[in-house]
Structure 1
Amino acid sequence: MKTSALRFGASLLCLMLTPAAAGRNPQLDSDIVIRGGQVYTGDAQPFIGDVAIKADRIVYVGPKAPGRAGRTIDARGMIVAPGFIDPHTHAGAALASDSPVERLLLPFLTQGVTTAFIGVDGGGDPDVGRTLGGQGYGINFATYVGFGGVRSAVIGNADRAPTPAEMSQMKVLVAKAMCQGALGLSTGLFYAPQSFARQDEVAALARVAGAAGGVYDSHLRDESSYSIGLLGAVDEAIAIGRDAQIPVHIAHIKALGVDVQGSAPQVIARVEAARARGQVVHADQYPWSASGTGLSAALIPRWAQDGGRAAMLSRFADEKLRDRLRTEIAENLRRRGGAEAVLITTGPDWAKGRTLAVLARERGTDPVASTLDLLKVSEVSIASFNQSEDDIAAFMKRDWVVTSSDASTGHPRYYASFARKYATYVRERGVIDLRTFIASSTLRTARIFGLEGRGELRNGNFADVVVFNPAKFGPQADYTHPTLFSIGMRTVVVNGRIKIDDGKPTGMAAGMPLLRRAKAGVCPQ
């Protein structure tokens, strides 16, 4: 890792909140010893040994833990690793839920995820203090301030540039969020109304986040051939980072659609050229060939979305726009591999679980008409089968790409991304080895985002630890049954508390919000 990236990481700190130690015996040397497993500390060579935990910290990592323990977990034949860190999720609604069970995030815990980031794709609430409030969480989490939330609060859904006064308002919102503990600024430039922003507008707000020590996280403007193209969008993200003097993180890196499949080597070359020039650029990736998004985002042209949903629906009814709209929807379908490659994952019962091709046949119409009919009822989510395995493997092998899920409801990635990456790309196909899988799911992520005391099994670090069966750990969820828990995760410890015990959830809430501390002198005292 480059020195500049390490300096950036050192500037970020998490809240050091300690879960209550009720029921623990202060006379014992440790509360928990995980004994005799194959220990992967982060990115080091594994060894057979023990991990000891007292309160919320790791107190021993080595061949044999000394002293007495309140609980010993037999990990012989198991893999022991740091808790997995997911840097790109849509789990904010679950964390904000009124349901204590939903706030436990069992779909994450059962695949070993102990820390997750929310507020991605520009969706982060400008009021970060509100997002990071509350209690009773199953996992640790951090949040971005979202460009979409900021722009919508000031400008609304209009396709126009901000006035100078509006630009000042947006800068104030970003600065306030950074001082409340945001990781940085996230954008979803593919999505309206964020797609209406020009590069210089985004860079100006990224500069505010960068001055506070944050990161620029971007769903690229184009992962395919919709507007400026995949390579143009990668260049734009790198340019924003350079102009704003902020580390760049490319969200769920991919080559989406028939026009750009096979482009991974060109994307990799651009990123690595920027890194060679000294710029901090990295990415995350989910291990699925089908992406997940909204049907309107995937197929409806941006001009038709100007002004929000009500304005979009009025354009659907405008006979003067009918031919233009149908032509552009058909072209977007072609980009994504056709109606057979688009699966409806949420929405009305008569549509959910069907491809657009099947839906059109059942309704005696064509896929474009079915798209319009469906969106008139409600927005729906889709899984779009549009990536090549060669591209997925090429990105996965880079040491600047870390594991993520892009967890969203209706897609199996919410329940099974880390499990699938291990089972499919390590155990079955051998695309990467186990040590790389663990490093890209733990320590690398902690380092690039500056999560102090996490992502590595080391004395003094927070006790986020997983124990899994290497022969059984894997997904049950698939595109037809997306809400099945992963299997083979035997033990999960979050901040020293056992959350998964012998494969079963304990119901304990031990997670905490993590806040990034802004650079000195940036925020009011």
Structure 2
Amino acid sequence: MKVALLLGIATLSLGAASPAPRKVDLLIRGGTIYTGSAEPFVGDVAITGDRIVSVSRHADVVAARTIDAKGMIVAPGFIDPHTHMGGELTSDDAAKRLVPAFLLQGVTTAFIGNDGGGTPDVAKVLGSAAPKPVGINYAAYVGFGAVREKVVGEADRVPSDAELAQMKTLVAKAMCEGALGLSTGLFYAPQSFAKTGEVVALAREAGLRGGVYDSHIRDESSYTVGLAAAIDEAIAIGKRGELPAHISHIKALGVDVQGQAPAIIAKIEAARRVGQNVTADQYPWSASGTSLVASLMPLWAQDGGRTALLKRFDNPALARNLRSGINENLRKRGGADKLLIVEGKYLNRTLADVAKEVGQDPVNAAITVIRIADPGVVSFNQSEADIAKFMQQPWVMTGSDASGGHPRIYGSFARKYAKYTRAERVITVRQFIERSSALTADTFGLSGRGHLRAGAFADVVVFDPATYAARATYERPTLAAQGVRTVVVNGVVAVDSGALTGKAGGRALPHKPTAGTCR
């Protein structure tokens, strides 16, 4: 009887054998996982095709390939909401389209068309990724500047009713082609010539189709309306246009407004408390990047574009006002030694250095340089206290404002981690990761991205918490970041053991317009 019972139990045990482990393509094993929405834990991420199939403390799977992530941080691929990388992503050069500077920081998605520069032909931009594969994912804005120049040109004037209607049509078309929203650069001529109501009219077209309003605000300093009023305008455009408002690279720029971060934060918090969706991004550098004309030339002198500006240089009747305006803008920027020229004939020299070299005062030296071209400049104009205060806000996400001549292309995410998270502890590791991934994905509706969870797209970064850091500097801005071990983009291993694989796993990410708003 006992023998029979034991045989029966043995037979039952054999019949109830565990199913075979699931087969997966890739297993990232034993790293400290930050999912984007939970406390970290040591575990495994399993991937098949372009999707994550499990995130757990131990994945019972058989993997075609296993990556040992012991001692590493495993996080959602980082998302950069403000870049100027459209030229790279649509380039005929396959190596440029990989965007190695981003991949080697763990950035797997970027937005383009910021500051009002995005073309009205969004279908062409988003369609480029099919014939010309890209290394990272990207979404695109339609730019107010591009739309206004197409219809109105570069003049300082109000559009006619017919022109405004044409601009609204262009924005609506771009939204229906997959634009993320409307971007503006109201600091820059000719966008700066637009009144608030004109911007609201176009923003409303984006809002009707589920888009967002993204703005380089009219004044980050004391050039025209002032920082506080410019923030008020951005909030008002979002409210009147009935769409979320996002403030690009939030900062207090220049000697007149340094220290105003708490007051600016209070304005945004007040809007958020009454239910308005207002967010911002920030790059972790004390120097901004722009052009010498944008930094120093009075707006009235930019009316009509470069040709008109150069003629004004030779008009004796304007000389006094022009010099006065340039001199005042130099003061706001902290002086000629705070402007580092990063391209052209005077590469890596401050405006003060150029003035000594050409034997002129800084105002005339600036005019001399601009007669040749309008070079990019790095402008040292922010306080560390303001940077930290903005960074600590839960609605401020990581961005790079990636543009040529500035180390922020190659080092923004890595610098934020190494300097402000690990060394200075301005924010925690979890805050850094979530504000570099999940917050951005959730704010802009990037479904299936920004989180490590089953069913999400397999965008993953694995980095060494002890060595992940920027190497790029203001003098050597193109040094790649260090410390990233593995990057996966839509299931494709793009960085392996710290080196680029040359595989292009990125995709264009068209925004889906609100149902019934496009024909």
Q: How does 1:390-409 map to 2 (within 5 A)?
A: 390-409=385-404
What is aligned with 1:436? 431
Q: Do structure 1's residue 260 and structure 2's residue 257 form an aligned pair?
A: yes
Q: How does 1:246-285 map to 2 (within 5 A)?
A: 246-285=243-282
CA distance in structure 2 between the aligned counterparts of 1:305 and 1:358, rounded to whole angstroms:
25
Q: 2:445 aligns with which of 450, 470, 491?
A: 450
What is aligned with 1:308? 305
| Contact residue 58 and residue 462 of structure 1 kept, 8 A | yes
Q: CA deviation at 1:504?
A: 0.3
CA distance in structure 1 between the aligned counterparts of 2:415 and 2:314, rounded to whole angstroms:
43
Q: How does 1:356-435 map to 2 (within 5 A)?
A: 356-435=351-430
Give the secondary structure class of the aligned counterpart of 2:127.
coil
What is aligned with 2:291? 294
Counterpart amino acid of 1:169?
Q
Q: Do structure 1's residue 43 and structure 2's residue 37 form an aligned pair?
A: yes
CA distance in structure 2 between the aligned counterparts of 1:283 and 1:346, rounded to whole angstroms:
29
CA distance in structure 1 between the aligned counterparts of 2:23 and 2:389, rounded to whole angstroms:
46
CA distance in structure 2 between the aligned counterparts of 1:501 and 1:291, rounded to whole angstroms:
32
| Contact residue 38 and residue 49 of structure 1 kept, 8 A | yes
Give the secondary structure class of the aligned counterpart of 1:441.
coil
Superposed CA deviations along residues 7-57 of structure 1, whole A, max 9, x for unmatched, are xxxxxxxxxxxxxxxxxxxx9711110000000000310000000000000
CA distance in structure 2 between the aligned counterparts of 1:141 and 1:180, rounded to whole angstroms:
14
CA distance in structure 2 between the aligned counterparts of 1:138 and 1:415, rounded to whole angstroms:
15
Give the secondary structure class of the aligned counterpart of 1:254.
coil
Q: How does 1:123-202 map to 2 (within 5 A)?
A: 123-134=117-128, 135-202=132-199
What is aligned with 2:27? 33
Counterpart amino acid of 1:313?
L
State which structure, 1 or 2, has the greater radius of gyration over its C-alpha atoms.
2
Q: Do structure 1's residue 80 and structure 2's residue 77 form an aligned pair?
A: no
Q: CA deviation at 1:322?
A: 1.1
Q: CA deviation at 1:447?
A: 0.5
TM-score (norm 1): 0.94
Q: CA deviation at 1:198?
A: 0.1
Q: 2:234 aligns with which of 216, 227, 237?
A: 237
Which runs of no fewer than 5 residues in structure 2 stay unpaired? 1-20
Counterpart amino acid of 1:89?
T
Give the secondary structure class of the aligned counterpart of 1:268.
helix
What is aligned with 2:483? 488
Superposed CA deviations along residues 426-447 of structure 1, whole A, max 9, x for unmatched, are 1111111100000100101111
| Contact residue 464 and residue 492 of structure 1 kept, 8 A | yes
Counterpart amino acid of 1:197?
A
Q: CA deviation at 1:522?
A: 0.5
Q: 1:469 aligns with which of 464, 468, 474?
A: 464
| Contact residue 32 and residue 72 of structure 1 kept, 8 A | yes
CA distance in structure 2 between the aligned counterparts of 1:67 and 1:289, rounded to whole angstroms:
47
Q: Do structure 1's residue 60 and structure 2's residue 54 form an aligned pair?
A: yes
Which runs of no fewer than 5 residues in structure 1 stay unpaired? 1-26
| Contact residue 238 and residue 274 of structure 1 kept, 8 A | yes
CA distance in structure 2 between the aligned counterparts of 1:159 and 1:407, rounded to whole angstroms:
28
What is aligned with 2:3? none
Superposed CA deviations along residues 152-192 of structure 1, whole A, max 9, x for unmatched, are 00000000000000000000000000000000000000000
| Contact residue 28 and residue 70 of structure 1 kept, 8 A | no
| Contact residue 22 and residue 60 of structure 2 kept, 8 A | no
| Contact residue 43 and residue 438 of structure 1 kept, 8 A | no
What is aligned with 2:90? 96
Point out 4+ residue stretches in structure 1 off by more than 6 angstroms: none
CA RMSD of superposed structures (Å)? 0.8
| Contact residue 43 and residue 436 of structure 1 kept, 8 A | no
Counterpart amino acid of 2:412?
S
What is aligned with 2:319? 322
Counterpart amino acid of 1:520?
A
Give the secondary structure class of the aligned counterpart of 1:132.
helix
TM-score (norm 2): 0.95
Count of residue pairs the alignment pairs up: 496
Give the secondary structure class of the aligned counterpart of 1:68.
strand
| Contact residue 343 and residue 354 of structure 1 kept, 8 A | yes
Give the secondary structure class of the aligned counterpart of 1:51.
strand
Counterpart amino acid of 1:505?
L
CA distance in structure 1 between the aligned counterparts of 2:35 and 2:141, rounded to whole angstroms:
28
What is aligned with 1:116? 110
